[in-house]
Amino acid sequence: MSVKFESEAGVAIITLDRPEARNAVDRATALAVSEAVQRIEADRDIRVGVITGSGGNFCAGMDLKAFLRGEVVRLPETGFAGVTQARIAKPMIAAVEGYALAGGFEIALACDIVVAAEDAKFGLTETKRGLVANAGGLVRLPRQLPSKIASELVLTGDIYPASLLAQHGLVNRLVPNGEALEAALEYARKIAANGPLAVAISKRVLGESQDWLSTEMFDRQNELTAVVFASADAREGASAFAEKRAPVWRGE
């Protein structure tokens, strides 16, 4: 299997497992990741997803040998590797060790939080191979980095240290080498302990509001968030606080 899936205490881990190819994505890997993402979305007990790679690397992007064989690694509904265009209501966290290149970088861009080892390296290297970063690099990077920095990464195709991306806010946390997954799980456990409905609606507003006009943003936000304030979870959160106990969420 080119992808491992495990779940415990509300947190699922997707591990790209092709270390001999720096976890580059072939057709089988894309299908397996897509299936894993669907499992995360369908399972009410899973609150957060973490995606990482084995063998000291995150993902080197599309497997160019598979590309030459004619394998399609971009799925119709969910995009590259079955994840870059997926509509995921639950938070996703990237735990990056080693290289996150091309489509691998774009997988990280699709996540809500990125944790990276100090020696991790990122690059949208597509132009060096006569390709384009159309799995999210061209459209997400300018929204997540200053435009001039985004242009530099896209147009040069060079590889950059995680520390540079952390300076510009693209990496949430730098950690010692080998500790990216555990740090990502720390984030995941904190999120999984929160109200699932509140987390899901908050993620939705964070994503959709980027395209809202300033004159309409509060009305549109209030329309989406009203369900949270009227929910059983909201009452449970207040009751748990008053009673000095841990809340028991229902997700509704």
User: 150 - beta bridge partners?
Assistant: none
**How do residues 142-161 score in pLDDT, each as one tens digit?**
999 999 999 999 999 999 99
- Kind plus residue range of the DSSP H or E element containing 186: helix 180-192
Give residue 67's pLDDT band: very low, low, confident or very high (50, 70, 90): confident
How many of the other CB atoms lie within 10 Å of CB of 96? 31
pLDDT at 1 over 90: no
- In this prediction the pTM is 0.94
At 108 the pLDDT is 98
What is the rounded CA–CA span in Å between residue 1 and residue 240? 43
User: 74 - beta bridge partners?
Assistant: 80
Structure token pair of residue 126: 């597509």
User: Which residue in the block uniquely carries the two structure tokens 């979870």?
Assistant: 233
What is the rounded CA–CA span in Å between residue 121 and residue 159? 6
Q: Residue ranges of the domains in the chain? A: 3-192, 196-243
Q: State the fold for domain 3-192.
A: 2-enoyl-CoA Hydratase; Chain A, domain 1 (3.90.226)
Give residue 109's pLDDT band: very low, low, confident or very high (50, 70, 90): very high
Give start and end residues of each alpha helix (H) in 6-126. Answer: 27-42, 64-68, 103-109
At 34 the pLDDT is 96
Task: Report the percentage of the chain scoring pLDDT > 70.
Answer: 100
At 251 the pLDDT is 86
Please return the burial class of 77, using the count of CB atoms within 10 Å of its CB with bins 0-12, 13-18 and 19+: exposed
**How do residues 157-167 score in pLDDT, each as one tens digit?**
999 999 999 99
**How do residues 112-141 score in pLDDT, each as one tens digit?**
999 999 999 999 999 999 999 999 999 999
Give me the active site residues, please: 106, 126
Give residue 252's pLDDT band: very low, low, confident or very high (50, 70, 90): confident
What is the rounded CA–CA span in Å between residue 47 and residue 92? 9
What is the rounded CA–CA span in Å between residue 115 and residue 43? 24
pLDDT at 184 over 90: yes
